[in-house]
Structure 1
Amino acid sequence: MPMTSSPIRRGRSLLALAALAAVTLTAGCGSGTSTVRGPSVLERDAAAITALGVTGVQARVITPDGRNLTATSGVADLNTRRPVSPDGHFRIASVTKAFTATVILQLVGEGRLGLDDPVERHLPGTVSGSGNDGRTITIRHLLQHTSGIHDDFPDYTSAKDFQQHRYDTYTAKQIVARAMRHQPDFKPPGKQWIYSNTGYTLLGLIIQRVTGHPWHEEVRNRIVRPLNLQHTTWPGTSPKLPQPHAQTYQRFKPSEPITDVTDQVSLVNNGEAGLVSTTADLTTFFHALLTGRLLPPAQLAQMKTTVPIGKQFEPLMPGARDGLGIFSHPLTCGGTYWGHEGGDSGWITATGTTPDGRTVAVSLSGVQAATPQDVLRISQAENTLVNNALCPN
């Protein structure tokens, strides 16, 4: 799910920490790095996020001339107080959708799919019941969240519930079957925009039907290996993150203590979420995607054809529009950037790339939010970091 609907779906209490910002900034080209002394905008913006109660922040910027800047703030572990690693792994949640959409558009470019193909053509009988009709919903609708398909995802309600079910898994077909018990959020398809994780679960199934391989294998073969994304993986049913990584935390109820939710199996990782990555790999991916290395010009143009997002998202994503697997956002310095957001299990991730190739990725760990106002403040602080990183002084 996007960070904007609920950045931490399984727990919503702001972490009551006096977050002193332990901030570092490094800069380098290639494999070498060197310390940059003195204040920077990236440092300041990372510290502003931890000051809101977020446990840790790591941010990375690739500049048009190839420099690689990183900043960290806060701590990676509340017990040991060890610093955040700029190379830490994290669950990227809905940022996975940009990878899934890229594979779909590659298949369109190869003539194996059409954006206006009805879902029924590739998954006969799957989208049906309760007023859902796969004959009227297209692949484009799924990609752009205009299908109207309702989300019915399992969730954790308490720390006890988390401990009991942290290793549960659900297949894509089970998730789709849950959604089909509900009326569509709107009809006809294409009339409105409502974010639908189930739509991307269906896209994962379509990739498997067309290619004969699971969606994550196609992501690996078409994106991860060609770009040498050595730290982007699909963990499957493993509850562990590769090292290094920060711990992440949630408070499921105001009356409960903070729970370490780092080790868990992603409840749903079927095309809508599930990948693990790093800021280095995400900046490489989005830079390659938006500069035309992964898609033919016609398919990249389709990806960047947008519609307005729902009004309920506007306060958190002001001015954003939705393409096919990526969002456009206005910049305060003029122009737009493209990227995707993601959030779940205490993590929030945001990415962005400008036309000149400047790219940013930021990961927040240990995010707690008790009220919609808390969510808004954290989201606005993250938006500020991304905007300032892409609008250099």
Structure 2
Amino acid sequence: MRNTLDSAQLNAAVENVHRAGMHGLFAEVRDGDKTWRGAAGVADVDTRRPVTADMRHRVGSITKTFTAAAVLQQVESGRIGLDTPIGRYLPKLVPGIRGDAITVRMLINHTSGLAEYLPYAYPSLKAFPVLADTGPQSMDGNRLTRFHPTELIEMGVAAPAVGAPGGTPGVYSNTNYLLLGELLEQVTGTTAERYITRNVIERAGLDDTELPADPYVNGPHSLMYEAWFGMIDPPRDYSVYDMSWVGPAGSLISTVADLNRFLGMLLAGEIVSRSSLEQMQRTVPVVSQEGKVIDYGLGLHPMEAPGQVTFWGHGGTVWGAGALSMASADGKRQMSVAVNLQRWNRLDSAGKPQPHPIDEALAALHRVAMYG
């Protein structure tokens, strides 16, 4: 990895993603004391208002890294045991044999075997992962729906298990992280959102990051366009949305600058201890929501290219918005990219997402941002 930022190369890579069909995207790359920021495209397809690199954005499951760090802080304090059964803390939510078998670690690394609640909260997604039989209707119906986390957890716990507790590969499930939110509330006496805000977000000095209490993104931001595999055409804006449907699993609002600052501090041992960071980087195979087997730790997963250093971080998507934030293992180089269009791939006759020029252009940007 070269300790340099090639602005022309990065600017070209961002423009290529926009030219490939992305409405708008913005990014920041840091390498030591050097910083590059860039943006391309529009924040509003009607007014043609441009995106800018300082915009606030919904960053989806990158929230999980913040929640995992908060839980690890409580492990360090002795209030939570990583290998303690969740039934000891939340016996009503995960009762009986499963509560005794599923540990806190299994929730954080998605090896609990608990199913995803989303298809039950969003009936038009019931056929997921059979995409051709799904539809976007529930997204509109739930725009301002206020879910209680225990309501969603009960859906996931009641659904057929997707694996045995501790078995691998695990299966990625937001149910796990809503349970971690309830666990934080149980042991700290305050809501997960307040605890994470005070002890992770504020501790890291992230002035433009929040777990929202209302459906709005305050401050400069882009609209967020969902295509749902071509079933919403033209793509529809979902930037105003009640995020209680995903809470401590994916509701975070942030900026690319704040995400880079956070990951740099996390990997430098400034958010959790070095021993906790080692636990976060112990991976197991997990089946992602896209059906791919990835290595997953405790709220972190690695990305690496042959002959290059390993990067650690997380990606995330919500309706209309996506982001990826990664940092080199030593924390010195960070890259965060945010996009304002999701599920741009159309389905082929077999119901599988077809390749799209955006896919390769984004992958090329990620490579340039990480390795130069």
Pick from 325, 328, 345: which aligns with 2:302? 328
User: Mapping of 1:218-367 within 5 angstroms?
Assistant: 218-236=195-213, 238-252=214-228, 254=231, 256-310=233-287, 320-356=294-330, 357-367=332-342
Could you list the per-position Cα deviations for residues 29-63 of structure 1 after superposition, in whole angstroms to 9, with x for gaps in the alignment? xxxxxxx9x97221222122223322101010111
Query: Aligned residue for 2:364?
Result: 384
Structure 1 residues 314 and 183: CA distance shift in structure 2, 3 A = closer
Distance in 1 (alpha carbons) for counterparts of 2:252 and 2:244: 12
Work out whether 1:140 is the aligned partner of 2:105.
Answer: yes
Distance in 2 (alpha carbons) for counterparts of 1:349 and 1:375: 19
User: Mapping of 1:11-30 within 5 angstroms?
Assistant: none
Distance in 2 (alpha carbons) for counterparts of 1:97 and 1:188: 20
Shift of 1:192: 2.6
Shift of 1:164: 3.8
Distance in 1 (alpha carbons) for counterparts of 2:288 and 2:295: 11
Shift of 1:377: 5.4
Query: Aligned residue for 2:132?
Result: none
Query: Aligned residue for 1:61?
Result: 29
Pick from 341, 345, 351: which aligns with 1:369? 345
Distance in 2 (alpha carbons) for counterparts of 1:313 and 1:352: 19
Distance in 1 (alpha carbons) for counterparts of 2:288 and 2:237: 33
Distance in 2 (alpha carbons) for counterparts of 1:164 and 1:312: 22
Could you list the per-position Cα deviations for residues 99-157 of structure 1 after superposition, in whole angstroms to 9, with x for gaps in the alignment? 0000011111111111101000110121148xx71110000000101111001212374
Distance in 2 (alpha carbons) for counterparts of 1:199 and 1:301: 21
Could you list the per-position Cα deviations for residues 75-108 of structure 1 after superposition, in whole angstroms to 9, with x for gaps in the alignment? 1110111211110111111000000000011111
SS in 1 for 2:205: coil
Distance in 1 (alpha carbons) for counterparts of 2:94 and 2:232: 41
Distance in 2 (alpha carbons) for counterparts of 1:162 and 1:143: 27
Structure 1 residues 330 and 159: CA distance shift in structure 2, 3 A = closer
Work out whether 1:195 is the aligned partner of 2:172.
Answer: yes
Shift of 1:161: 4.7
Q: Is the 8 A contact 1:327 1:339 kept in 2?
A: yes
Quick one: which amino acid aligns to residue 101 of structure 2? T
Q: Is the 8 A contact 1:176 1:201 kept in 2?
A: yes
Shift of 1:160: 5.9
Query: Aligned residue for 1:155?
Result: 122
Q: Is the 8 A contact 2:110 2:286 kept in 1?
A: no
Q: Is the 8 A contact 1:208 1:215 kept in 2?
A: yes
Please list every run of 5 or more consecutive structure 1 residues that lacks an aligned counterpart in the other structure: 1-35
SS in 1 for 2:122: coil
Quick one: which amino acid aligns to residue 361 of structure 1? S
Distance in 1 (alpha carbons) for counterparts of 2:100 and 2:360: 40
SS in 2 for 1:47: helix
Structure 1 residues 59 and 196: CA distance shift in structure 2, 3 A = same
SS in 1 for 2:38: strand
Q: Is the 8 A contact 1:232 1:275 kept in 2?
A: yes
Aligned alpha-carbon RMSD (Å): 2.4
Q: Is the 8 A contact 1:159 1:259 kept in 2?
A: no
Q: Is the 8 A contact 1:118 1:134 kept in 2?
A: yes
Please list every run of 5 or more consecutive structure 2 residues that lacks an aligned counterpart in the other structure: 125-134
Q: Is the 8 A contact 1:333 1:391 kept in 2?
A: no
SS in 2 for 1:150: coil
Distance in 2 (alpha carbons) for counterparts of 1:255 and 1:327: 31
The percent identity for this pair of structures is: 29
Work out whether 1:44 is the aligned partner of 2:12.
Answer: yes
SS in 1 for 2:337: strand
Structure 1 residues 87 and 326: CA distance shift in structure 2, 3 A = same
The structure with the greater share of residues assigned to helix is 2
Quick one: which amino acid aligns to residue 52 of structure 1? A
Pick from 77, 95, 102: which aligns with 2:62? 95
Shift of 1:311: 8.1
Distance in 1 (alpha carbons) for counterparts of 2:357 and 2:77: 43
Shift of 1:353: 0.5
Shift of 1:313: 5.3
In the alignment of these two chains, the number of paired residues is: 349
Distance in 2 (alpha carbons) for counterparts of 1:60 and 1:215: 28
What TM-score, normalized to structure 2? 0.87
Query: Aligned residue for 2:47?
Result: 80
Structure 1 residues 262 and 197: CA distance shift in structure 2, 3 A = same
Q: Is the 8 A contact 2:26 2:52 kept in 1?
A: yes
Structure 1 residues 310 and 246: CA distance shift in structure 2, 3 A = same
Could you list the per-position Cα deviations for residues 323-359 of structure 1 after superposition, in whole angstroms to 9, with x for gaps in the alignment? 1000011134512100000001111110110034100
Distance in 2 (alpha carbons) for counterparts of 1:188 and 1:196: 13
Q: Is the 8 A contact 2:136 2:232 kept in 1?
A: no
Shift of 1:373: 4.0
Structure 1 residues 351 and 374: CA distance shift in structure 2, 3 A = farther
Could you list the per-position Cα deviations for residues 210-260 of structure 1 after superposition, in whole angstroms to 9, with x for gaps in the alignment? 001111111111121122211001212x22112211111123563754322
